[in-house]
Amino acid sequence: MAWRLRLAPEKTSFDFFRYQWITFGGSIALMIAAFVAWGVMGLNYGIDFKGGTTIRTESSQPVDVGAYRQTLEGQPLGDVSITEVFDPSFRADQHVAMIRIAAQDSTASVTPEVLQGVEDALSKLDPEIRFVSVESVGPKVSGELVWTSILAVGVSSIGILLYIWMRFEWQFALGGVLALLHDVFITIGIFAVFQIKFDLTIIAALLTILGYSINDTVVVFDRLRENLLKYKAMPLRDVMNLSVNETLSRTLMTSITTLIAVGCMLVLGGDVIRGFSLAIFLGVLLGTYSSVYVAKNIVLMIGLDRSDKPKKSDKNEFANVDA
CATH number at residue 307: 1.20.1640.10
> At which of 137, 158, 182 does a domain end?
137
**236 and 147, same structural domain?**
yes
Q: Give yes or no for a contact between 141 and 183, defined as CB atoms under 8 angstroms apart.
A: no
Q: Is residue 34 part of a domain?
A: yes
Q: Average pLDDT, whole number, for the chain? A: 81
Q: Is residue 3 part of a domain?
A: no
**92 and 77, same structural domain?**
yes
**177 and 30, same structural domain?**
yes
Please state the rounded mean pLDDT for residues 94-119.
Answer: 75
Q: Is residue 2 part of a domain?
A: no
The closest alpha carbon to 179, from 38, 301, 39, 319, belongs to 301
**162 and 122, same structural domain?**
no
**227 and 297, same structural domain?**
yes
Domain ranges, residue 77: 52-137
**256 and 153, same structural domain?**
yes
Reported as a pLDDT band with limits 50, 70 and 90, residue 318 is: very low
CA–CA gap between residue 134 and residue 123 (Å, rounded) = 16
Query: What total number of domains does the chain contain?
Result: 2
In whole angstroms, how far apart are CA 245 and each of 193, 228, 230, 238?
34, 15, 16, 11
Q: Is residue 25 part of a domain?
A: yes
Please state the rounded mean pLDDT for residues 83-108.
Answer: 76
| pLDDT above 80: residue 51 | no
Q: Give yes or no for a contact between 133 and 114, defined as CB atoms under 8 angstroms apart.
A: no
**186 and 73, same structural domain?**
no
In whole angstroms, how far apart are CA 247 and each of 154, 178, 220, 283, 286?
29, 21, 6, 20, 17
**35 and 150, same structural domain?**
yes
What would the pLDDT profile of 211-258 be if each residue is shown by its tens digit?
A: 888 888 888 888 888 888 888 888 888 888 888 888 888 888 888 999
Averaging pLDDT over each range in 109-118, 131-140, 258-267, 312-321, which range is the top one?
Answer: 258-267
What would the pLDDT profile of 295-306 be if each residue is shown by its tens digit?
A: 888 888 888 766
- Bridge partners (DSSP) listed for residue 95: 59
Reported as a pLDDT band with limits 50, 70 and 90, residue 1 is: very low
Q: Is residue 262 part of a domain?
A: yes
Q: Amino acid letter at 35?
A: F
Q: Is residue 11 part of a domain?
A: no
Q: Give yes or no for a contact between 279 and 144, defined as CB atoms under 8 angstroms apart.
A: no
**158 and 117, same structural domain?**
no
Q: Is residue 98 part of a domain?
A: yes
**133 and 39, same structural domain?**
no
Please state the rounded mean pLDDT for residues 3-8.
Answer: 60
CATH number where 84 lies: 3.30.70.2040
> At which of 118, 137, 156 does a domain end?
137
What would the pLDDT profile of 270-295 be if each residue is shown by its tens digit?
A: 777 888 999 999 999 998 898 888 88
C-alpha of 226 from chain center = 30
Q: Give yes or no for a contact between 180 and 160, defined as CB atoms under 8 angstroms apart.
A: yes
**224 and 291, same structural domain?**
yes
> At which of 103, 137, 171 does a domain end?
137
**94 and 61, same structural domain?**
yes
DSSP string, 210-278: HHHHHHHHHHHHHHHHHHHHH-TTS-HHHHHHHHHHHTHHHHHHHHHHHHHHHHHHHHHS-STTHHHHH
Q: Is residue 9 part of a domain?
A: no
DSSP code, position 62: P
